[in-house]
Amino acid sequence: MDETIRPGEIAITLDPARASDAKLYFIGHIRTPWHERSQCPRQGDREEGPECWIVIDPLWHQALTGIEQWPELQILYWMNEARRDLVIQAATGKEPIGTFALRSPVRPNPIASSIVALRRVEPGALIVTGLDCLDMTPLLDIKAHFGAAKPASP
């Protein structure tokens, strides 16, 4: 985790007593070609981005039933390498702005959401394009994306 504070940024001290307000189940992990934050695209390219693997824990394999009917999915994941203490952030070359006004991975709860294109389903895995996260990022959830397309007819 990069602890560097850029000019104009403001960090707060986090209260360890509030560190676990909720419990989450990681349902798998994401395999991508990126191993450092600087390598990740700002937003994934659904059309021409590299294929990434969403690997599902065996406990949740049955939950993939019927997913192939959705050409696009919403993927929720935990940016486990992101710092969590900035309230004001300074993007390179821009004025400092509040964390909640940005799509930065630096957040109090580093939950990310990407709409991806489903390319194919493999046993226990989804192959998608459109992600922008580090390799081995913990997976929180998968949802059918209703915004762009209707499911294919069975």
Q: Model confidence over 84-115: pLDDT tens digits? A: 999 999 977 789 999 999 888 889 999 999 99
**What DSSP state is assigned to residue 4?**
P
38-44 contacts, C-beta under 8 A, 24 or more apart: 40/132, 40/133, 40/134, 41/132, 42/132, 43/103, 43/114, 43/132, 44/114, 44/116, 44/129, 44/130, 44/131, 44/132
Looking at residue 20, its pLDDT comes to 67
| Tens-place pLDDT, residues 2-29 | 678 888 989 988 877 776 667 889 999 9
In tens, the pLDDT along 20-75 reads 667 889 999 999 999 988 888 776 667 778 999 999 999 999 999 999 999 999 99
Residue 78 has pLDDT above 60, yes or no: yes
CATH code of the domain occupying 30-144: 2.40.30.70
- Per domain, the residue ranges of the chain are 30-144
Average pLDDT along the chain? 88
